Amino acid sequence: MKKISDSTISRLSTYYRTLSRLIEQNVETVSSDEIAEINNITSAQVRKDLSFFGSFGKRGLGYNTKDLREEIAKILGLKKQWNVALVGVGNIGRALIDYAEFKKQGFIIKALFDNDPKKVNTEVGGLKIHDIENACNIVKKEKIEIAIIAVPAKHAQAVVDTLVQCGVKAFLNFAPVTIKVPSDVIVKNENMSIELEALSYFLTQNKKGD
Amino acid sequence: MKKISDSTISRLSTYYRTLSRLIEQNVETVSSDEIAEINNITSAQVRKDLSFFGSFGKRGLGYNTKDLREEIAKILGLKKQWNVALVGVGNIGRALIDYAEFKKQGFIIKALFDNDPKKVNTEVGGLKIHDIENACNIVKKEKIEIAIIAVPAKHAQAVVDTLVQCGVKAFLNFAPVTIKVPSDVIVKNENMSIELEALSYFLTQNKKGD
DNA sequence: CAAAGTTTGTTTGACTATTCACAAAAAATT
DNA sequence: AATTTTTTGTGAATAGTCAAACAAACTTTG
């Protein structure tokens, strides 16, 4: 299959949420122009993104919100439940355990890991914290497919290496470092410092421009 | 000044962190090739990114880590302290208050806002929670320049509108919606669902490929 | 101090992503 | 039922990003 760009995939995610909201509001049809307007992009972009996967609209009318949402769910693989492990039960980790948005989209946190002996064997949010040493047993038992890395930067690579050994192929990394993985494994980064620094750059530029 | 791409700016952020780590390890010089290797990109990319802002290296030798870090700090506007407000003291918000990485880079949370009467006037992390109604007073008093939006999706736009009125020009948005702002205001998004869904897409594709 | 080896800064070319523009198809109107 | 309007899907044009390649500048070695 043709390689689809990361930006197309992340826009599909936003269309998915847009459609969910429209469905909640009992809207039944929507045009590419309306979807575009809501997300500050062009309608051509919306149609192009969708066209990689099929043609889901009706000329002269637009898209049926429920149908299109369903199609995007299929494309993104959201029709199944994903079993997720969370590594690092610190501030960020704890917040993510309770983050309702995840569960809503079918990402279920099934296992917690940490390396702090004080935390291991305690419970958070009804889940026992396991020693990262025993990762492979738990990964196998809970059929973990995705791991969220919320450990300090200096431990992130080691943690990922361990889990790659256990067969985990997808990572959401909150640690502010670049992680190296084999080519059949994917890492997506969530790095708040980068975005804040982009704001800092923007504000600095604008000040200069005055 | 020539418009610099977002990707260049976010790579500068990663170089900045790479350099910080190298300096900690007492490394004094580094080549574009080493920076590239650490971050899984090409050395041409590193040199290109830097070349937009000047020439900081020495042919045959590479870059002085401390000098280059300093230059990037200047470019990104990290030589000053940024006053930040956090709106929405829920799970995510609370985690961010304690997130040490922010403070390390000079982003200081100076004010907390919420709309929940139960939370208003209580304290978290040594900071009083203010009613979002009084935003402008506090923004002025604390010289807030950046706001972090950690409220539910349905309130995000209204909160941003309020703060734009108060003169805030930069937002880091954690709510999974597209926010509309005037053209002199910037919003950066931190949307974990998008990244998780990208992982879901990747895993789904690979399964099909088998 | 000359020759060989490094590494930068930048030009050029390749590739990717986005937007334009319009025919085709369907809906709405007269 | 014919005409006008709307909106999709897509091929072509434009714009933007990244990688290769190499001369110029500096370092190191013999």
Nearest by Cα to B89 from B188, B159, B136, B186: B159
Q: Is A37 on the interface with B (CB under 8 A)?
A: no
- The pLDDT of residue A1 is 66
Q: Are A15 and B195 in contact (CB under 8 A)?
A: no
Q: Are B150 and B90 in contact (CB under 8 A)?
A: yes
Residue B179: Cβ within 10 Å count:
18
**What mean pLDDT is predicted for residues B74-82?**
97
- The pLDDT of residue A197 is 98
User: Is B102 within 8 Å of A192 when comparing Cβ atoms?
Assistant: yes
Nearest by Cα to B191 from B145, B156, B141: B156
Residues of A in contact with B92 (CB under 8 A): 95, 99
Residues of A in contact with B163 (CB under 8 A): none
- The pLDDT of residue B210 is 55
Mutate to test the interface with B, among A37, A199, A202 (most CBs of B within 10 A): A199
Which residue in B has a C-alpha nearest to residue A89's C-alpha? B95
**What mean pLDDT is predicted for residues B138-152?**
98
Spatial distance between the Cα atoms of A159 and A149, rounded to a whole number of angstroms: 8
Any strand C atom closer than 7 Å to A7 CB = yes
Instruction: Using CB atoms, pick whichever of A13, A95, A206 lies closest to residue B193.
Output: A13
The DSSP annotation for A66-130 comes to HHHHHHHHHHHTTTSPEEEEEE--SHHHHHHHT-HHHHHTTEEEEEEEE--TTTTT-EETTEEEE
The pTM is what?
0.95
Q: Which residues are A108's β-sheet partners?
A: A83
Report the distance from CA of residue B49 to the C1' of nucleotide C10 in Å, as an integer: 12
For A185, which DSSP code? -
Work out the angle at residue B180's Cα, subtended by the Cα atoms of residues A102 and B102, and round it to the nearest 5 degrees: 60
Q: Which residue is closest to C25 in terms of CA–C1' distance?
A: A59
Which residue in B has a C-alpha nearest to residue A39's C-alpha? B178
- The pLDDT of residue B209 is 57
In this structure, CATH architecture of domain B82-194: 3-Layer(aba) Sandwich (3.40)
User: Is A202 within 8 Å of B170 when comparing Cβ atoms?
Assistant: yes
- The pLDDT of residue A2 is 76
What's chain A's Rg over C-alpha atoms?
20
Collect the ranges in chain A with pLDDT lower than 50.
Answer: none
- Tell me the pairing of strands A123-124 and B186-189: unpaired
Decide whether B6-76 matches B82-194 in CATH topology.
Answer: no
Spatial distance between the Cα atoms of A183 and B107, rounded to a whole number of angstroms: 36
- What does the block give as tokens for A145? 């497919």
pLDDT in tens, B36-57: 999 999 999 999 999 999 999 9
Q: Is B125 on the interface with A (CB under 8 A)?
A: no
**What mean pLDDT is predicted for residues B12-17?**
98
Q: pLDDT band for B2, please (50, 70, 90 cuts).
A: confident
Spatial distance between the Cα atoms of A33 and A46, rounded to a whole number of angstroms: 8
Strand D nucleotides in reach of protein CB atoms, 7 A cut-off: 5-11, 16-21, 24-28
Mutate to test the interface with A, among B5, B22, B201, B203 (most CBs of A within 10 A): B201
What's chain B's Rg over C-alpha atoms?
20
Query: In Å, how far are B63, B75, B204 from B28, measured between CA atoms?
Result: 8, 21, 45
Contacts with B, A 160-179, CB within 8 Å: 169-172, 176-178
Q: Are B181 and A62 in contact (CB under 8 A)?
A: no
Q: How many CB pairs under 8 A join A and B?
A: 180
Residues of B in contact with A192 (CB under 8 A): 96, 99, 101-102, 172, 190
Work out the angle at residue A206's Cα, subtended by the Cα atoms of residues A205 and A209, and round it to the nearest 5 degrees: 90
User: Is B145 within 8 Å of A102 when comparing Cβ atoms?
Assistant: no
In CATH, B6-76 is 3.30.70.3000 = no
Q: Mean pLDDT of all residues in chain B?
A: 96
- The pLDDT of residue A41 is 98
Residues of A in contact with B208 (CB under 8 A): 1
Whether residue B207 has pLDDT greater than 80:
no
- Tell me the pairing of strands B82-87 and A123-124: unpaired
User: Is B75 within 8 Å of A201 when comparing Cβ atoms?
Assistant: yes
Mean pLDDT is lowest, of A177-186, B91-100, B122-131, B156-165, for B91-100
Any strand D atom closer than 7 Å to A205 CB = no
The DSSP annotation for chain B comes to -PPPPHHHHHHHHHHHHHHHHHHHTT--EE-HHHHHHHTTS-HHHHHHHHHTT----BTTTBEEHHHHHHHHHHHHTTTSPEEEEEE--SHHHHHHHT-HHHHHTTEEEEEEEE--TTTTT-EETTEEEEEGGGHHHHHHHHT--EEEE-S-HHHHHHHHHHHHHTT--EEEE-SSSPPP--TT-EEEE--HHHHHHHHHHHHHHHHHH-
Residues of A in contact with B12 (CB under 8 A): 197, 201
**What mean pLDDT is predicted for residues B161-184?**
97
Chain position carrying tokens 């429209």: A22
- The pLDDT of residue B98 is 87
Any strand D atom closer than 7 Å to A31 CB = yes
User: Is B199 within 8 Å of A146 when comparing Cβ atoms?
Assistant: yes
Nearest by Cα to A89 from A49, A116, A58: A116
Domain extents in chain A:
6-76, 82-194
Residue A170, SS3? strand
- What does the block give as tokens for B186? 């910037």
Q: Which helix (H) or strand (E) holds A179?
A: none
**What mean pLDDT is predicted for residues B155-161?**
98
